[in-house]
Amino acid sequence: MAKFVYRMQNILELTEKLESQEKINFGIAQQAVNEEQDKLKALLARRSEYEQKQNELMQGLIDVKEIEHNKQAITIMKVKIRDQMLALQKAQRNLERARKRLDEVMKDRKTHENLRDKAFEEFKKELAMEESKATDELVSYTYHDSDEE
């Protein structure tokens, strides 16, 4: 029996390797987004602590120097939060680019798999036709031999 050989198998294997590499890249990009989100949450929590401390400083004995220092800390935290939000947006854009590249590579792999499947179906049809032809020849030969006797 004939063996099926897909003539573009090396291209299919290459697309599978590219897909696995893009999956890794996507995972790295996702991890970067998660890290940036964690940093943002930490900054927001820290700002909240400063704001809570500001409220505490405004009550009871008022220390103007401490209040001013705390206001500066809150302002600095707002700047850091804004910068962190920009970093998060950049990481999200990188993640989206990685997702698009992964989608493209997956589509390419699926296309090659479909081509391989179609080639295999064609191979099975040709094999069935050859077997049918061989059977017809055998029947014809057997029938022809029985007529001669």
Query: Does pLDDT of 25 surpass 80?
Result: yes
The answer as to whether 144 is a domain residue is yes
Overall average pLDDT of the 30-56 stretch: 95
Within a domain: residue 73? Answer: yes
59 pLDDT above the threshold of 90: no
Asked whether 90 and 29 are in contact (CB, 8 A), the reply is no
- Considering the domain boundaries, does residue 54 fall inside one? yes
Q: At 143, is the pLDDT very low, low, confident or very high (cuts 50, 70, 90)?
A: low
Whether 85 is in a domain gets the answer: yes
- Determine, yes or no, domain membership for 4: no
2 part of a folded domain: no
CA pair distance 141, 133, nearest whole angstrom: 12
Asked whether residue 50 carries a pLDDT value surpassing 80, the answer given is: yes
pLDDT top residue among 130 and 79: 79
Number of domains in the chain: 1
| 77 assigned to some structural domain | yes
**Is pLDDT above 70 for 148?**
no
**CATH label of the domain that carries residue 124:** 1.10.287.1700
In a domain, 97, yes or no: yes
Measured from the Cβ of residue 18, the count of other Cβ atoms closer than 10 Å reads 17
Averaged over 21-36, what is the pLDDT?
97
Predicted structure pTM score:
0.76
C-alpha–C-alpha distance, residues 114 and 122, integer Å? 12
Write down the pLDDT at residue 1.
61
Residue 52 domain boundaries: 9-148
The pLDDT of residue 145 is 62
